[in-house]
Each structure stands twice: as C-alpha cells, then as structure tokens.
C-alpha cells in the first residue's frame, strides 16, 4: 500500500495529551489520523457535530473593556436583585446534572 506524508502544525501540549490517550487505546497518532480520515470519507463530512454552545460565555481575555464592564455590572445587579444561589447549592446541582 502506498502512503502519503501529511505535515500539520499542532500545539505540542495537545499532541502529547492526545498521544497519551491514543496509547491507552493501543493506537498511534498515525493510525488515529487514518481512522479519522476514513470516517470523514464514510460520513461524507466530519464524523461528529460541530456546534457552538448556546450559552458559551466569551472568555474575559477576549472581551473589550466595555463588554467586561457590562458583564461585571450584570453580575453585580444579579447579586443586588437576589438572583444568586449559595455556592454549596450550585455545586450540588452541578454535580447532579453532570453526574459527578
């Protein structure tokens, strides 16, 4: 079987983390990429859904100063209006929802 080389740029930490997971599955990085490409062909697209979470908050380091001020103001308003819950209650609900 003929093979072709593929050169990609990837964050070193991401590559290392992926290799650790793949080694637990008994796969090399090359084998995993081959499997991924085969699934692209079989599915006629990516083998998973790409979605932006409906409530994905924008990381603060990407916010403008105005956006950050608005977020802080909105949070402060929620506290003043009593629209908060105790941390313990939040974590109990979080753990239940995500089965932790």
Query: Residue 58 has what DSSP assignment?
Result: P
Domains within the chain, CATH numbers bracketed = 1-50 (1.10.1220.10), 60-97 (no CATH)
Q: Quickly state the pLDDT bin for 94 (edges 50, 70, 90).
A: confident
Instruction: Kindly report, residue by residue over 76-90, the tens digit of the pLDDT.
Output: 999 999 999 989 998
Q: What's this model's pTM, rounded to 2 decimal places?
A: 0.51
Taking the C-alpha atoms of residue 62 and residue 64, their distance in angstroms, rounded to an integer, is 7
Taking CA atoms, 56 is separated from 27, 59, 79, in Å, by 32, 9, 21
Instruction: Kindly report, residue by residue over 17-28, the tens digit of the pLDDT.
Output: 999 999 999 999
Instruction: Kindly report, residue by residue over 9-62, the tens digit of the pLDDT.
Output: 999 999 999 999 999 999 999 999 999 999 999 999 999 988 776 777 788 889
Q: Quickly state the pLDDT bin for 100 (edges 50, 70, 90).
A: low
């Amino acid at each position: 079987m003929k093979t072709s080389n593929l050169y990609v740029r990837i964050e070193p930490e991401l590559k290392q983390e992926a290799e650790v997971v793949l080694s637990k599955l008994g796969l090399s990085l090359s084998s995993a990429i081959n499997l991924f490409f085969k699934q692209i062909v079989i599915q006629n697209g990516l083998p998973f859904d790409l979605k932006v979470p409906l409530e994905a908050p924008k990381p603060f380091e990407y916010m403008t100063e105005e956006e950050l001020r608005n977020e802080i103001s909105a949070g402060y308003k929620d506290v003043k209006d009593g629209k908060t819950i105790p941390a313990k209650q939040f974590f109990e609900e979080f753990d239940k929802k995500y089965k932790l």
